[in-house]
A and B are shown apart, each in its own frame.
Chain A
Amino acid sequence: MSIESIGGVGDVASTLGTLATGYGQGIADTDNLQMTGAVGGGSGTSYTGVVNPAAVSGVAGTGASTSVDGTSGTDFASLLAQGLGGGVDKLQGLQSTSDDLAVKAATGDLTNVHDYMIASNEAQLATQLTVAIRNKAVDAFNEIMRMQV
């Protein structure tokens, strides 16, 4: 039961990671849209004759691609992964160790009972740590989303 729940939480964490990737992309996209839209609007309203739209769009393109991708280019998911310091990989390692020992316990090949308990405890703790960090990161992300522009 505990293994399943641990695995479940791990899966949830990874899916949230992918969801976060989606959010990151979303931010980048909307930012891009807003930037290009604003610039396009600016070029559309006034300086039609003087400023050629190609140059403006070129500037907008570089500005959008470098700055926006630069800030959120390590987008939310990779930011989360950085914050965890490869924690997800370690978590998966701990969980697979725990699973291996669980199989050994079931098949009677387990020589040290405590090895499984330790492995499952470590996997549980690592999951809690990952989830805690993820929650903090999501909180920070939400805080940014509430920012008045």
Chain B
Amino acid sequence: MSIFDAIGIAGTGVTVNRKWMDAVSDNLANINTAVRTSDPAYEAKYVVAAEAADGKGTQVAGIVTGSAEGKLVYDPSNPLADEQGYVKYPDIDMSTQMTSLIMAQRAYQANLSVIDRSKEAYQAALQLGKA
């Protein structure tokens, strides 16, 4: 890490954004997970990024979960429905998740670009005085 800092730092950014994509993917996968009204709904995952402990790059400080209250949906044909005909869906907004997904993807790609560019720069430095 100490020789090629830019690459290592961008690597931490890639890792954080991968975890963000994982969280979004988890949320989207569970967006239709219905439970009984007496049970807790699926809790949406939100990645909290923070500066790395050594000051080089970023890291995942933790995962914050959304509420387990969910939203009640009237669906009497669902086998999980209660006496009033309600089931509980997780409180996840699909458009928000898709936006997050795009942001995570772009940030991931941006960090990969940093790795590529810094590698090119390092290689150019090695060519110093040759041409």
Number of interface residues of A (CB under 8 A): 13
Q: Cα distance A94–B3 when bound, in Å?
A: 10
A122 at the interface (CB under 8 A from B): yes
Cβ-defined contact, B119 with A125, below 8 A: yes
B14 at the interface (CB under 8 A from A): yes
3 A-B pairs closest in CB distance: A118-B11, A114-B14, A132-B126
**Contact partners of A104 in chain B: CB under 8 A:** none
| Chain A nearest Cβ from B63, distance in angstroms | 16
Cβ-defined contact, A121 with B7, below 8 A: yes
A142 at the interface (CB under 8 A from B): no
A115 at the interface (CB under 8 A from B): yes
| Chain B nearest Cβ from A136, distance in angstroms | 9
- B7: contacting residue among A90, A122, A128, A129, CB under 8 A: A122
Cβ-defined contact, B126 with A114, below 8 A: no
Cβ-defined contact, A90 with B119, below 8 A: no
Main secondary structure of the interface of B (DSSP, over half): helix
Interface residues of A (CB under 8 A from B): 90, 94, 112, 114-115, 118, 121-122, 125-126, 128-129, 132
Some 24 contacts from A to B, beta carbons below 8 A apart, are A90-B2, A90-B3, A94-B3, A112-B15, A112-B18, A114-B11, A114-B112, A115-B11, A118-B7, A118-B8, A118-B11, A121-B119, A122-B3, A122-B4, A122-B7, A122-B8, A125-B4, A125-B7, A125-B122, A128-B123, A128-B126, A129-B122, A129-B126, A132-B126
**Contact partners of A114 in chain B: CB under 8 A:** 11, 14-15, 18, 112, 115
Q: Sort chain B's interface into a size bin.
A: 10 to 19
Interface residues of B (CB under 8 A from A): 2-4, 7-8, 11, 14-15, 18, 112, 115, 119, 122-123, 126
Q: Cα distance A82–B2 when bound, in Å?
A: 17
- Beyond A115-B11, A122-B3, A129-B122, list 5 extra A-B contacts (CB 8 Å): A112-B15, A114-B18, A121-B119, A125-B7, A125-B122
